[in-house]
């Protein structure tokens, strides 16, 4: 049975990512340590007692569609209402529209808990938060006043409509079109696929954010506009009016996240309304919709990273419990009666500690990214630029490394269960099936790597990356200066990983400056993982240096040492692949000619 790791989450927020210092300096408004702990404790209770019990049923029953009406698994609609009534939807939303305006860091921490219990359930509410952010940042006052209060309260939900058949990552080839109307509205026509919670029974109204092209829109992605298209039109007094010309044609049959309806949406088919065309309102400027949509997508990319952390934590807990209960053979040194628990076998223990280290490292990376987002919103001038560049840099890493980790850890969890892990009865397989989508959607991890190398590495001419590596070197120096024997060779191992990161970064910067884009791109995925491993080692070490009075410091040091001496040495091989792998890749591609 999953138990929310509230203490571990609170420690990471306060002492690894910097929330404690920010609270002490009054930078986070009314948020105090007591309030932070209380919110996390209640979130943990809700996750354990309300969300977790419905997860297996959601997986087995799945979402269903009949005559265009989508029904979520039994109990889920009521669960959502309790979730919204608890104020969880409003946690980090703007206060002007009924939100609590608490830090993104805290919201992301709660998102980990919901995802650990049921990734499929959490997808819908998480997308609503992203839609709120996009509307708040780019919508007119009229749109914000009409839609945001009920979206913030959770009375209405939102969805994101980008993908079309033949237009996935390359949005420039999309065919959904928009037509202007004299009253200032637009009519939307087209089809969107893979629309998460595009139709459901959680709320009466669904506010779709839809990318479409106007007739005079330039070719390519620069000619796309963003529109707000409600399922039901909203009257001036806030009440719901007529059904809009948008509906769900079908839902997908998927490997995982079965309870989450993944919809094919039809706009402007003439099924509803007096004339064909779904009525929409422009968000932002015409032909500049991607800028507005990316506000939502950046939020969702970090949210997807939290899916990786949540699933990894749940899979680790399940595997540890099984390994304690399962008796098999006699482990070396076992002095008990009969067979030993498999957790006593060195290879199983190694697997479990690997799962734990990757999970905690991923948690720290995602929270650090959320903290950078918070600080960018709270500061001005050069400090704001610093934190914005930090958030920019960490976002692709915080999306990719934790989702890769979630998949790896879930696979390890099945392995620990042995044959029983391959049987659906144990529940270990669900984690693997659910998380498999996370490295794919919201921009594949390969796309994240290309973004990291092509755009984020080069910020301020590469100086932000250089400065960040210098900050991380201070952590290694502090470990060395601590003289705590439990750290073993941690300092040297972290220093070596940072040397690898620095050398790889400089090589990539030189290659890009010389116009060798293909060569730099060939090493992008390796570079992204190098960052993830180096950051994991540093953040685990930073946590190990803190005595929080909880009796866990030695455990944190032991986990850090294991990661440093067993996992992060991979950075040397990754660096070699980045610097020397492009020619071999170019030659090998010929085998597919």
Residue 181 near residue 280, CB atoms below 8 Å: no
> Using CB atoms within 10 A of its CB, is residue 485 exposed (0-12), middle (13-18) or buried (19+)?
exposed
The H or E element containing residue 198 is: none
**CA 309 remoteness from chain centre:** 8
Phi, psi of 361 (to 5 degrees): -65, -45
Extract long-range pairs of 60-68: CB within 8 Å, 24+ residues apart.
60/258, 61/258, 61/259, 62/258, 62/259, 63/200, 63/251, 63/258, 63/259, 63/260, 63/261, 64/251, 65/199, 65/248, 65/250, 65/251, 65/261, 68/199, 68/247, 68/248, 68/249
For residue 228 the two structure tokens come to: 């707000």
For residue 178 the two structure tokens come to: 């928009």
Q: What's the rounded Cα separation, in Å, for the pair 530 and 569? A: 10
Comparing C-alpha atoms, which of 243, 237, 232 is closest to residue 206?
A: 232
The H or E element containing residue 63 is: none
Comparing C-alpha atoms, which of 191, 15, 2, 4 is closest to residue 544?
A: 15
The H or E element containing residue 279 is: strand 278-283
42 counts as catalytic: no
CB atoms within 10 A of CB 469: 17
For residue 370 the two structure tokens come to: 């959320």
Give 231's contacts (C-beta < 8 A, 6+ positions apart). Answer: 199, 205, 206, 207, 208, 243, 244, 246
Q: Which residues of 279-315 are buried (b: 16+ CB within 10 A; e: fewer)?
A: bbbbbbebebbbebbebbbbbbbbbbbbbbbbbbbbb
Q: What's the rounded Cα separation, in Å, for the pair 324 and 341? A: 5
Comparing C-alpha atoms, which of 201, 121, 200 is closest to residue 430?
A: 121
* Length, in residues, of the chain: 593
Phi, psi of 341 (to 5 degrees): -60, 145
Count each helix (H run) and each strand (E run) in the chain, helices first.
20, 12
Choose the catalytic residue: 344, 389, 408, 442.
442
Give the three-class secondary structure for 240.
strand
Partners of residue 420 on adjacent β-strands: none
Residue 269 near residue 132, CB atoms below 8 Å: no
How many CA atoms are closer than 13 Å to the CA of 63, on its beta-carbon side?
30
Strand-strand pairing, 224-230 and 232-234? unpaired
Which residue numbers are catalytic? 442
């Amino acid at each position: 049975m999953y138990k929310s790791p509230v203490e571990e989450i609170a420690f990471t927020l306060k002492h690894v990512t910097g929330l404690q210092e920010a609270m002490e300096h009054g930078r986070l408004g009314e948020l105090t340590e007591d309030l932070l702990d209380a919110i996390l404790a209640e979130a943990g209770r809700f996750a354990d007692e309300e969300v977790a019990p419905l997860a297996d049923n959601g997986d087995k029953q799945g979402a269903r569609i009949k005559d265009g009406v989508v029904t979520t698994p039994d109990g889920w609609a009521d669960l959502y209402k309790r979730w919204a009534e608890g104020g969880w939807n409003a946690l980090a939303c703007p206060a002007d529209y009924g939100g609590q305006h608490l830090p993104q860091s805290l919201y992301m921490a709660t998102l980990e808990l919901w995802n650990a219990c049921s990734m499929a359930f959490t997808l819908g509410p998480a997308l609503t938060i992203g839609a709120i952010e996009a509307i708040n940042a780019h919508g007119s006052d009229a749109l914000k006043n009409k839609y945001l209060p009920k979206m913030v309260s959770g009375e209405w939900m939102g969805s994101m409509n980008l993908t079309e058949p033949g237009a996935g990552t390359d949005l420039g080839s999309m065919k959904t079109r928009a037509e202007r109307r004299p009253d200032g509205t637009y009519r939307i026509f087209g089809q969107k696929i893979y629309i998460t919670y595009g139709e459901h029974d959680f709320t009466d109204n669904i506010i779709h954010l839809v990318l479409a092209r106007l007739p005079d829109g330039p070719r390519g992605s620069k000619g796309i506009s963003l529109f707000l298209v409600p399922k039901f039109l909203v009257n001036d007094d806030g009440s719901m009016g007529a059904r809009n010309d948008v509906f769900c044609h079908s839902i997908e049959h998927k490997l995982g996240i079965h309870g989450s309806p993944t919809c094919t949406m039809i706009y402007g088919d003439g099924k509803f309304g007096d004339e064909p065309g779904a009525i929409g309102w422009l968000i932002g400027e015409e032909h500049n919709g991607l800028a507005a949509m990316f506000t939502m997508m950046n939020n969702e990319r970090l949210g997807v990273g939290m899916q990786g952390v949540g699933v990894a934590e749940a899979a680790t807990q399940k595997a540890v419990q099984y390994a304690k209960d399962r008796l098999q053979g006699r482990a070396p040194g076992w002095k008990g009666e009969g067979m030993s628990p498999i957790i006593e076998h060195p290879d199983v223990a190694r697997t479990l500690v690997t799962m734990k280290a990757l999970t905690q490292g991923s948690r720290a990376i995602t929270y650090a990214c959320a903290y950078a987002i918070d600080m960018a919103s709270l500061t001005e001038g050069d400090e704001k630029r610093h934190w914005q560049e930090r958030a920019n840099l960490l976002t692709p890493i915080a999306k990719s490394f934790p989702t890769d980790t979630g998949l790896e850890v879930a696979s390890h969890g099945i392995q620990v269960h042995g044959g029983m892990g391959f049987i659906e009865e144990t529940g270990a397989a669900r984690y693997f099936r659910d998380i498999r989508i996370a490295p794919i959607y919201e921009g594949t991890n390969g796309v994240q790597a290309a973004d990291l190398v092509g755009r984020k590495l080069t910020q301020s001419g590469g100086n932000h990356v250089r400065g960040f590596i210098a900050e991380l070197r201070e952590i290694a120096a502090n470990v060395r200066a601590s003289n705590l024997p439990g750290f073993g060779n941690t300092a040297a191992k972290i220093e070596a990983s940072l040397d690898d990161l620095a050398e790889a970064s400089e090589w990539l910067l030189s290659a890009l400056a010389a116009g060798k884009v293909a060569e730099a791109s060939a090493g992008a995925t390796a570079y992204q993982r190098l960052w993830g491993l180096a950051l994991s080692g540093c953040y685990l070490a930073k946590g190990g240096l803190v005595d929080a009075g909880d009796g866990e410091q030695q455990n944190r040091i032991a986990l850090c040492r294991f990661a440093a001496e067993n996992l992060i040495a991979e950075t040397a091989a990754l660096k070699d692949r980045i610097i020397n792998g492009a020619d071999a890749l170019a030659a090998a591609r010929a085998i597919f000619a």
